[in-house]
Chain A
Amino acid sequence: MADTKGSGLLKRLLSARFRPFVEITRKYRTPRIKMTRSVRIALLLLRIYLILIIGILAFKFFTSGGTF
């Protein structure tokens, strides 16, 4: 019983802490910029670039024992 109460309290506390993040995510769910072909291509290239660069950096980080 006490456990249930405790976990409920924790849940409420966490939910209150994360509420602003959830609300902001909901507020900005839909991009407002007109998704023209050039915008789509630019965002796609940016995703590819970031995946590659983060991949390279992560590889270096883990293969050198947690440092650069």
Chain B
Amino acid sequence: MDFRARFFYRYRRMVKTLQIYLILAGPGIIVMVADNDAGGITTYSVTGATYGYDLIWFLILLGPIAYFVQEMTVRLGAVTKRGHAEAIFDAFGAFWGWFSLADLALTDWLTLITEFIGMTAALSIFGIPPLITVILVSVFMMGLVLHGRYWTFEKIVLFFCLINLIYIPAAILVNPSVPDVLHGVIPNLPGGDMAKLFFLLMANIGTTIAPWMLFFQQSSVVDKGMKEKDIPFGKIDTAIGAVLTVLVAVFIIIVTATLLHGTGQPPIESAAQAATTMQQENYWVGTILAIGLFDAGLLGAICISLASSWAIGEVFGWAHSLNNKIREARWFYAFYFFLLVTAGAMVLISTEKTLVAVTLFVQVIAVTLLPAALVFLLLLLNSEELMGKYKNTRTQNIIGASIISMIIALSTLYALSVVFPGIFGGF
């Protein structure tokens, strides 16, 4: 009887914990899955088509790195009840605050344009003109936030995160060689042009940690109303998100490596090109890649436009919760719509040359924001008066500082290699 009672008690406790987790789950999974945005899908497709399965291990390594950085935003948001932008203003003063906010607004807007480029390219494969795509996406994204409930918004976005897992059945469909895939899990450096390899490694790191992610998750934690006691659940949520983001990245590599690597096809330069080429080999897999690209662009667009709107709302003191109706937070929603409409319009009215310039420029401009946002994050997490018992431990600081130094160094080198092609030996 005693055993049965104990078992029942433990079972009830587990169910209760799971129920609480399901209520609190969201921000971590959304931010991590949205991290595989249109630019990310392109990077993974190019990586798989160029190096086959050889760099799978590298993407697996990026998972814990992304987790470690994003976990800090959970603690900061839950303890301070402030978004990252407001926290920077408050802790470091107006100069750094304005710098971060202006940089975030510009970087996010440019990244939003690249998401629209990805979505229009994906739907063009199905014969849908860019104008229709931009209108449909804008109307959907407006509708998504206008019902005045954070909970509903989050569950709909989680559904789109689920669609992102479409690459797993695609990988099964292409029937990859399992021993070759497992060989890719073991760290190794493929031969050939080292400059090209280094460029792709840096590009993969660049897509793993983006500035908007820090701002999005912290604001999202605040909007959801998470408290200090919810931090363990926030960590689990972020860890699950990190596993999912790595899974998606690895399966994209498996798909593109199996169908496009070493086939003598022209070099793959975008996910849309990869999807079209793959449709000739296997129609359904190419179609899945195109659907996944659209979904990734949509998720990225949702998170990026919200990251900016939350940040601006926090600093300007506007009502800025998704729990607010439109009349209660009209400036917050107006800014969100403004971002959507202008980014969508840019894609429609710009020439291809301008859009390529935007894609390059966003990689360059991000390098001015990412180091600042990461350094502020680490400093804030070390503030005793701000974080109390939730401040970073010595071990967390050593790991955090190492990761942040590496990200800053590699993202800077990546931006420089974009600006000065050939700086690392001809690529």
**Residues of A in contact with B (beta carbons under 8 Å apart):** 20, 24-25, 27-34, 38-39, 42-43, 46, 49-50, 53-54, 56-57, 60, 67-68
Contacts and interface: CB of A to CB of B under 8 A. Distances in A.
B93 A28 contact: yes
Contacts, number: 68
A50 B361 CA distance: 16
Given A42-B379, A49-B371, A53-B412, A30 B419 contact: no
A33 B97 CA distance: 13
Given A28-B90, A43-B375, A67-B357, 10 more contacts: A24-B97, A28-B89, A29-B94, A33-B383, A50-B371, A50-B372, A53-B368, A54-B368, A57-B364, A57-B419
Given A20-B316, A28-B97, A60-B419, A68 B383 contact: no
Contacts of B316: 20, 24
Interface in B326-368: 357, 360-361, 364, 367-368
B419 A25 contact: no
A33 B379 contact: yes
Contact of B92 (A27, A43, A50): A43
B2 interface: no
Contacts of B93: 28-31
Contacts of B383: 33-34
B357 A24 contact: no
Contact of B364 (A31, A49, A68): A68
A31 B89 CA distance: 8
B385 interface: yes
**Interface centre among B90, B94, B316, B364, by most A CB within 10 Å?**
B94
A39 B378 CA distance: 10
Nearest to A61: B419
Contact of A50 (B91, B97, B368, B416): B368
Interface residues of B, number: 35
A28 B383 CA distance: 18
Interface of B: 89-94, 96-98, 315-316, 357, 360-361, 364, 367-368, 371-372, 375, 378-380, 382-386, 408, 412, 415-416, 418-420
B380 A33 contact: yes
Contacts of A50: 368, 371-372
A48 B379 CA distance: 17
B357 A33 contact: no
Contacts of A29: 93-94
Contact of A32 (B90, B98, B378, B416): B90
A24 B94 contact: yes
A68 B360 contact: yes
**Interface centre among A25, A29, A33, by most B CB within 10 Å?**
A33
B319 to A, nearest CB: 15
